Amino acid sequence: MTPTEIPAASLLDLIAALRARALSPVELVEHTLARIERTHAQINAVVALRDREQVMAEARQAEARIGRGEGRPLEGVPLGVKDLEDVAGMVTSCGSKLYADHVAARDEVHVERLRAAGAIVVGKTNTPEFGLSSITKNLLFGDSRNPWNVQRSPGGSSGGSAAALVGGVLPLVTASDGGGSIRIPASFSGAYGFKPSFGRVPMGPSPAFSTTLRACYGPLTKTVEDAAFVLDQYAGPSPHDPTSLPAVEHRYLDRVRKGAPDGLRLGLSLDMGGMPVESEVKAAVEEGARVLQGLGHTLVPIAGGPPQAGDSWLQTAGFAVAASHGERARGRESELAKWVAELMREGATMSPGAWEQSQRMRAEIRDFCTHVFEQCDLLISPTTPYTAPPARGPFPSEIDGTPCSAGASGQFCMPFNYNWNPAASVRVGMSKAGLPIGMQLAGPMHRDALVLQVSRAFERERPWHPDWPVC
Q: Which residues are catalytic?
A: 82, 157, 181
Strand partners, 381: 440
Q: What is the distance between the alpha carbons of residues 288 and 381, in angstroms, rounded to a whole number?
A: 10
Q: Kindly give the pairing relationship between strand 120-125 and strand 46-49.
A: antiparallel
By the 8 A CB rule, do 6 and 34 touch?
no
CA-based end-to-end distance of the chain: 19
Phi, psi (degrees; rounded to nearest 5) at 177: -145, 110
Which helix (H) or strand (E) segment holds residue 111: the answer is helix 109-116
Q: What is the distance between the alpha carbons of residues 292 and 300, in angstroms, rounded to a whole number?
A: 12
Cα–Cα distances in Å, from 307 out to 304, 335, 363, 380, 455? 10, 34, 10, 18, 26
Q: What is the distance between the alpha carbons of residues 454 and 387, in angstroms, rounded to a whole number?
A: 23
Q: What is the distance between the alpha carbons of residues 218 and 230, in angstroms, rounded to a whole number?
A: 8
Q: Which residues fall within 8 angstroms of residue 260, CB to CB, at 6 or more apart? A: 295, 450, 453, 454, 456, 457
DSSP E strand stretches across 318-466: 378-382, 398-399, 402-403, 423-430, 436-442
Tally Cβ neighbours within 10 Å of residue 283: 15
